[in-house]
Every structure is written in C-alpha cells, then in structure tokens.
Structure 1
Amino acid sequence: MPKIITTNTDIRQIDVSKTRPLFQAFSLISDPIFVVDTHLKIQFYNEALVRLMNSWELPPPGKDQHITEAIPFLTNTWIADYKKIFNSQESQIESVDTFPKDPTAYTIHKLPMIKTKNPNLVTTIIKYQSNDEKTAKKIMYVEKKYEGMMKALRESEHKFRKLITQMGDGAWLFDSSQETIFINKALCEMLRFSESELIGNKITDFMVETSHDKFNKVLLSLDTQSTSNPTEITFLNKSGVEVETRLILSSLTDPDNQVVGNFCVISDITQEKSLQELQERFIATTAHELQTPLTVLSGYIDVLQIGPDLSQEDLLAIIEKMSRNVNRLVRLVRNVHDLSAVRANLFTIDRKDVNLFEFINEIKDQIAILFPTRNIFWDTNVTSDSNLSFNLDSERIKQTVENLTQNSVKNSPEDSSINIRILSKSDELSIVVQDQGTGISNDGMLQLFRPFAHKPTQYSQSGTGLGLYIIKAIIQAHGGTIEVVSGEENTGCIFTIKLPNNID
C-alpha cells in the first residue's frame, strides 16, 4: 500500500484564471504532469507524460478523458486520494515503488489549485526516484528547494493579488481571445457589474461600439511595445450609462515570449471629463462676461471724449452706468480669485464682532446701489436700540447676500418682488432670500453648488456658475448651513442661510 503524506506544499494560491500560462510552464517541466478536475477528467498533460505512457504502451490521454480510462491500472486508492484532496484542499505526496510494466520508483505530488467559479483542479507531478542514497538526498534537497520556491511564489502572488485587489483603479485581465479571466473590486464598482457577470465575457462586450476600433488599435500597438500609451475608452455600466475611462494595456507572455493575455489598468475619468467641459465653458463664459462690461466702459469713455458739452444729468447717468459695469468686473474678478482659493484649500474668512443693526443697513445700502430699479423688500427683527452684535466676516456675508440677490434679479421678471429677511435668534443669524422667478429644476438642484454649473433661463443667458459655489464655501467657513427650496416651474425659490455665533 503506498504511503500517504499530508504536506503544506501546495499551489492553492495559483488562481485557475491563470491556468493557461501556468499550463504552458508545465509543458517545459521534464517531470510527467497531468491535471484533473473534480470529475477526475484530464484537463491538461505535458509531453513528459506522453513519453512515460508510451513506455507503458499506453496511448496519450484525451481531453476530458477519465483518469481510469487513460491509465487503467490506477488503483481505487488513487481515486479516493483525489476525492480527499478536493474535499480538504490539502496536497499529498505518495511514494510508489513501481507501476505495472515499469521497474522505476516514483514520488507522486498531488497539488490542489485555488477554488474559483470553475471546477477545482489537481495537478499531479510524477517525479523519478533513485535507489542511490546520494542521488536520493539530492532529490530531497531539490524537493525542499522546490517547496521553498512554491512558498515564495504563493507569497509573491498573494502580495500581487492583494495589491491589484485593493488598488483604486480598475484592473482587467483577459486572455488572447479577449475573454475576461480576472477583475478587481474597483472595476466592478466602476461598471456596477458583479465579478460573475464579467468573468468569461469579452472586454469589448462592455464598451460602446465606437470604442472597439480604438481598443483594437491599442492591442495592435503592443506588437512593438510592451505597454500602450494611455488611451481614452468609453465603457457602458450595468445601467447603460457611459463611463469615460483612460486605460493602459500591457502584454502577458509565457517563457517562450508568446503573448497569452493582456493586463489593463483602467481609470474612471468621467468626472475629469465633465470638469474639463465645465472649465472650457467657464473660460468661454468668463471671456464673454469680461467683454460685455469692458465694451460698455469703452463706449462711454468715447462718449465723454467726444461730447464735452454733455449736461450734468447726462454725465451722472453715464457715471452711474460706468460704475455699475466696474462693479460687475470687480465681482467677476473676485469670484475667479475665490474659486482659486477654494480649490487650493486656501479660502479663509476674517470673523469679527459687528453691530448687527449697522451691518444690515450697510447691506441694504449696497443692494440699493446695485439694483436700484428692482422691487426689493426687507424684513428684520434687529432695531437700532437692540444693540446686538454677531461674530462673522462682514464683507463675505455682504458678498453672499449680494450674490443671492443678483441671482434673484437675473432669474425673475423685472416687475416681480424679491424679499430679504435677516432675523437674529439668540445665537443664530438667519438670512432668507426669496424671489418669484423661474425656480430650479430637479436636475438643477443636483448641480446647484458645483463650480461652472450655470444654467441659462428665460431671463438670463449669461453667468459663470461660480456664485453659489463660493457662497457655500463662505457659509461652511462660518460653520453655517445653506438650504434651497424650489417648487413648480416659475414659482421662484427660497434660499435660507443659518449662521451660528462665536464659532472657534
């Protein structure tokens, strides 16, 4: 009866997804090797096994042939051993004195592979023994060294797989026929497919059709280089939504330098592309916003140069209009500066204790100058004799009220009303700006406080889309909140700001 030895020498950490290159490596080994699945059907064998079977006067085994049909003199003990290995996932080393018609002694290594969605596989290695003690010791030394190599392989692959699994970018491994054999968690989350929905399918099945040719050209480029240049490819997620990506391909080769598959690193650049489009629109819009007041100022300067006999009334009207356009330029430049500060995490405020009554009157005066023709109504519970103070950055809060009022003015009819309420409640200051304008759609709500997210309305076509983004930064720097309520179309909207007092 052969002696069965349980050992820790196994290759369970070798993923079945990599069996094709692994089998090609087995082909180069001089020891006879064959691989069986859970049904004990042969899935792979090398040339060394063919030569051994020829010496036994047996034909080469067939693919999916049962092991007992291929090697009919195997005992029931072998069958039981395989079943035990499949159940325990522990490898075995079996000493066999001889096979029928073969006086040579062998050591049989049966090594299980890792579980996957595919049937488990067990690799059987038939190693020649020697009666010479010196040679036997050498074989033992080689086997011990082999065990160390396998251990190093397991540890190396474990670290590699852990790195690939935990990396933030998507990892996609596919074979020479483009069929998926490995993906990581980040890729599943990116495309919203489960691992089982991706494994076994072609990578191009998940791309938009217009990306197929581009992807195939990238694959062809690997004939002359080991790693491709970054290429933008559009995938479709499970919901059918396009996902913009940037991918880099690398070839995987066997010891004979034959390509057996490709490894792909995929970065989701959907937000990057969206931001790029918004920034391009911002640049175009900003150029337009700068051009308009500058053109107006240039025109009035020409009028003043050629019309020295203008009446005092005409001069005051021109100065008022020039002042309004200068203020427009100042607001635009300030918004661009604030945007840079917020994006660089350098945005700060300068809080000080201010007299609320004086502060509210300053806001009223400023709004009256900026929007002299609009129906703006004020409501406050702060009076001259209340002697209330509040800790805030007065210039930034003035900027906030000014921007909210400007939005209301731009997006509501000329004859409509705008209501501004500033209420002091113990340690909280509440600012509410309500208009009767176009309101904000559900889609608009999702983009409301993002930079460059201006959406034209029937009353206003221009704008940089920076005002609310900067307002949110100002309020958050104060430790406060900003909320917006908008009903049906053309029913206006209500912005409510709440600021706490004395925030450290």
Structure 2
Amino acid sequence: ILKDVTLAHEQQELKRSVLATVSHQLKTPLTSLQMSIYLLLEEKIGKLSAEQLDLVMSMREDSERLTAIIDDLLDLNRASSQKHFRLEPRRPEILLQDAKERFRSVCLDKDIKMEIEAAPGLPEVTVPVNRINYVFDNLIDNAVRFTPAGGTITLKAEARGNLMRFAVQDTGSGMPEEVRSHLFEHFYRAPGQEASSGVGLGLSIVKEIITALGGTVEVESSEGNGSTFHFTLPLKQDNQPERSSVVW
C-alpha cells in the first residue's frame, strides 16, 4: 500500500512539474505575439485597412483567451498543493464583505441585490487570502451570470462544529442534475455558455483549493430554483501551529 501511495504521489508531482514547465514555456512566445499584435493595433509600423484591423482584433482576442487558459492551468497546478499557500487568520464576515465590495458595481449594473448573512463574532478561519478570494470571486461570478435582473445573491457563513461553512446562494435559473454532476470536472462547460465564459477550469480550481485546505465544496440546485454553492473550511485550533510559505 505504501509503495502504491508513494508511486501515486511521485506521478502527481511529475504531472505538476510538467504542467508548470509547459505552461511557462508557452507564455514566453505568447507574450511576444501579443506585443506584436498591440504594435499593429497602434499602427506603429503602418496604417491598417478595415479588413486588416478586424483580423488583428480577432488575433488579440484569441491571444488573450490563450493567456487566460494558461493562467488557469497554472492556477489549477498550484491549487492542489498547500506548500504554495501563506495562511493568515481572517474573520468570515470580513471575507464576505470584501467579496461583496468587489462585485458592487457589477451587481448595480445588472440590477442584482447582494446580501450577507453571518452571525456576529464568528471564529476566525486560517486561509490563504488570495486563494479564498479566488474561490468567492469564481462562485459569485457564476451566480451573477445566471441571475436575472431583480434577483438576489446571498453570501453566508456559519460555524458548524469544528468547521466554518460558507455559501453563495442565488435566485437564478438553476441547473439540471446532469449538469450539476459534472460541474467540478476539468474543462467542463455547461451547454449554452458563451465562449467568453472560460474553458471550464474555474470550479475545478475552486475544488482543488478547498480540498488542499482540508474542506469540501458542493452544489445544490434544480431548474428554476436557483443554485447554492457551499464549502467548508476547518476552524483554527488553538494549538495548531501557523504555516506560511510563498504567496502566489
């Protein structure tokens, strides 16, 4: 059994190493291509015709999409390893307030109400703040995308035993079971999504982050009744040593 576990760990580390190397190697020529595209758009080396401008604009959009894919792959690679986390104590209500503030203008534009439900004095959680912000941003962004004007998104936090349970609840369109069962798979995109919505790695990264922190993430949803994504995090123990490492 120990031999199998060691082999699986070595294979996982090799996969991470290869993925990181390939992703970084792809970013270098892609950055060079983007610089050339921006020079063309600024017409530094000659004026573009309308047809040429359309082509270059398409090139820029595709290059930006490739950059986003590579960034997602790097995030997915890092998310599964806690050694990349710098853990800090944070109050749950502060995490929710900060997340709400980041989406204030988007919700105003879309006429969506955002509320917070969290009892005062909740115990702190020890988290990598930038990674937890990624989790909230991804879940809230999905909620905004599928919630119609006049709808509500509710951010929740409550203590349950030795766990803190967070939730992002919306009054959107919801989803059928066949979509819900695949949501956390790599590169899964629900039918009908626009190309600009990404390549289906966001929720995979969310799951990797929460799993690496010792928690779980789940979704409850049905068509026409909105969706609730909730995840748990272990509460800080008084005798638990602080761990810190590189921020990414």
Q: TM-score range by the shorter chain?
A: 0.5 to 0.7
Partner SS state of residue 373, structure 1: helix
* Alignment correspondent of 1:349: 85
CA contact under 8 A between 1:435 and 1:492: conserved in structure 2?
A: yes
Which of the pair is proportionally richer in strand?
A: 1
CA distance in 2, matches of 1:397, 1:414: 27
CA distance in 2, matches of 1:414, 1:332: 30
- Give every structure 1 segment of 4 or more consecutive aligned residues whose post-TM-superposition deviation is greater than 6 Å: 328-331
Residue 482 (str. 1) matches residue 190 (str. 2) = no
CA drift at 1:412:
3.0
CA drift at 1:339:
2.2
* Alignment correspondent of 1:338: 75
> TM-score w.r.t. structure 1 length?
0.31
Paired amino acid for 1:365: E
CA distance in 2, matches of 1:415, 1:332: 32
Partner SS state of residue 432, structure 1: strand
The change in CA–CA distance for 1:398 and 1:444 in structure 2 (over 3 A counts) is: same
* Alignment correspondent of 1:362: 98
**Larger RCO (CA under 8 A, 6+ residues apart):** 2
CA distance in 1, matches of 2:129, 2:68: 16
The change in CA–CA distance for 1:387 and 1:408 in structure 2 (over 3 A counts) is: closer
CA distance in 1, matches of 2:133, 2:210: 12
The change in CA–CA distance for 1:359 and 1:491 in structure 2 (over 3 A counts) is: closer
CA contact under 8 A between 2:76 and 2:205: conserved in structure 1?
A: yes
CA contact under 8 A between 2:82 and 2:213: conserved in structure 1?
A: no
* Alignment correspondent of 1:308: none
CA contact under 8 A between 1:351 and 1:394: conserved in structure 2?
A: yes
* Alignment correspondent of 1:432: 167
* Alignment correspondent of 2:118: 381
Partner SS state of residue 181, structure 2: helix
CA distance in 1, matches of 2:142, 2:122: 31
CA drift at 1:453:
0.4
Partner SS state of residue 379, structure 1: strand
Q: Which has the larger radius of gyration?
A: 1
Number of residue-to-residue matches in the alignment: 177
Q: Identity across aligned pairs (percent)? A: 25
CA distance in 2, matches of 1:442, 1:357: 31
* Alignment correspondent of 1:499: 233
Unaligned 5+ runs, structure 1: 1-289, 303-327
CA contact under 8 A between 2:172 and 2:225: conserved in structure 1?
A: yes
Paired amino acid for 1:358: I
Deviation per residue, 1:440-463 (Å, 9 max, x gap): 222223321111001233x74542
After superposition, residues 454-473 of structure 1 pair within 5 angstroms as 454-457=189-192, 460-461=194-195, 462-473=197-208
CA contact under 8 A between 1:357 and 1:388: conserved in structure 2?
A: no
Unaligned 5+ runs, structure 2: 1-29, 43-64, 241-248
After superposition, residues 400-415 of structure 1 pair within 5 angstroms as 400-415=135-150
After superposition, residues 2-401 of structure 1 pair within 5 angstroms as 334-341=71-78, 348-369=84-105, 371-374=107-110, 375-383=112-120, 386=121, 388-401=123-136
* Alignment correspondent of 1:123: none
Partner SS state of residue 499, structure 1: strand
CA distance in 2, matches of 1:387, 1:405: 22
CA contact under 8 A between 1:430 and 1:497: conserved in structure 2?
A: yes
CA contact under 8 A between 1:381 and 1:424: conserved in structure 2?
A: no
CA RMSD of aligned residues (A): 3.4
Deviation per residue, 1:353-391 (Å, 9 max, x gap): 1244433322222222554424132223344xx384221
CA distance in 1, matches of 2:122, 2:219: 30
Which of the pair is proportionally richer in helix?
A: 2
Paired amino acid for 1:351: L
